[in-house]
Amino acid sequence: MTARRRTRRTVLTALLAATLASPLSAQTWPERPIRIVVGFAPGGFTDVLARMVGQKLQERLGQPVVIENKAGAAGTVGADLVAKSRPDGYTLLLGHSNSNSVAPALYPKLPYDVVKDFTPIVRIASTPLLLAINPSVAARDVKSFVALAQKQPDGLRFASSGNGSAQHLAAARFMLATRTQMIHVPYKGSSAAMVDLLSGQVELNFDSPPNVLPHWQAGKLRVLAITSQKRSPLMPDVPTLAEAGVPNAEMSQWFALLGPAGMPREVTQRLNAEVQAILKLPDVVEKIAAQGGEIVAGSAEQFAAFLPGDAAAFARLVKEANVRID
């Protein structure tokens, strides 16, 4: 066999091997059911988003989309499962800022790298938090509340859904910005925290709009501010923290679709395009807005560029506020 023929055979063999080993292309994917893992229990906003997007993807892709809840350790159990899955586009994660930005700063032995072990696909939405207080607290606005907290170091108690949760971090950022000190009372979930806030066992909480709105509308809670950069259409009279005189205390949770590292670019781009189209559907826009959420969307490249900086910002907050999970 001549050298030329040997070279040609080697090239053909390599091409065949690459074809057989390569992930499915956008033309053949998906050929079987897709799984979206949620790192939280059913019923929360992460789960609601996953089921809504999953149902729309199922309709558009012609394959079943199954939602699998793998709750535990602030979403990191589900994230770890996806990080260790085959990057073939059939196992995805409805990720959350806690599991995919905050976690490295809180868990020294985190079993995955939030940047290297995932393929960012698309950011879906973000939600702010509301500074809600029990009506028994002698404060009608943020200014008077800060004055009260400054007069009583460790005299006010704030609830959260757990150590290192978004509620905990929002309160930590608020205390840094206002130079106040309050006592953290962590609960196992938002529901238990809300029960004690309503009963007056704790004085305040930073919680998501769906958890706060019904009680605010019933006059059982007083909402002083929202942690986003602009006011919410659901509560147009509630100022942002910056408007209320507390700059540099913004806080939002984000929700996004990710896959394991190494996913085929064609599949990633296809999923990005499909989800962006879904996020423009009127019923989807309405449902997200009703939960106090804001649609983000954007390209996979924009999401990838966003992640390292977001993780670094949370790492600084965790360090400055000395946030611990134990």
Q: Which residues of 154-170 are buried (b: 16+ CB within 10 A; e: fewer)?
A: eebbbbbbbebbbbbbb
pLDDT of residue 2: 53
pLDDT of residue 25: 55
Q: Which two tokens stand for residue 211?
A: 């958890």
What one-character-per-residue DSSP string does 12-62 give?
HHHHHHHHHHSPPPTTT--SS-EEEEESS-TTSHHHHHHHHHHHHHHHHHS
SS3 of residue 207 by DSSP: strand
Q: Residue-wise pLDDT tens for the chain (326 aa)?
A: 554 444 344 334 333 433 443 444 557 999 999 999 999 888 888 999 999 999 999 999 999 999 999 988 889 999 999 999 999 999 999 999 999 999 999 998 999 999 999 999 999 999 999 999 999 999 999 999 999 999 999 999 999 988 888 999 999 999 999 999 999 999 888 889 999 999 999 999 999 998 999 999 999 999 999 999 999 999 999 999 999 999 999 999 999 999 999 999 999 999 999 999 999 999 999 999 999 999 999 999 999 999 999 999 999 999 999 998 87
pLDDT of residue 188: 83
All domains of the chain in start order, with CATH: 31-127+253-321 (3.40.190.150), 130-226 (3.40.190.10)
Q: What is the rounded distance in angstroms from the CA atom of residue 97 to the CA atom of residue 106?
A: 13
SS3 of residue 305 by DSSP: helix
The CA distances from residue 88 to 120, 175, 268, in Å, are 14, 44, 10
pLDDT of residue 232: 94
Q: Cite the DSSP H helix spans in 189-292.
A: 190-199, 209-217, 265-278, 282-290
Instruction: Enumerate residues 6+ apart whose C-beta is below 8 A from 149.
Output: 155, 156, 178, 180, 181, 182
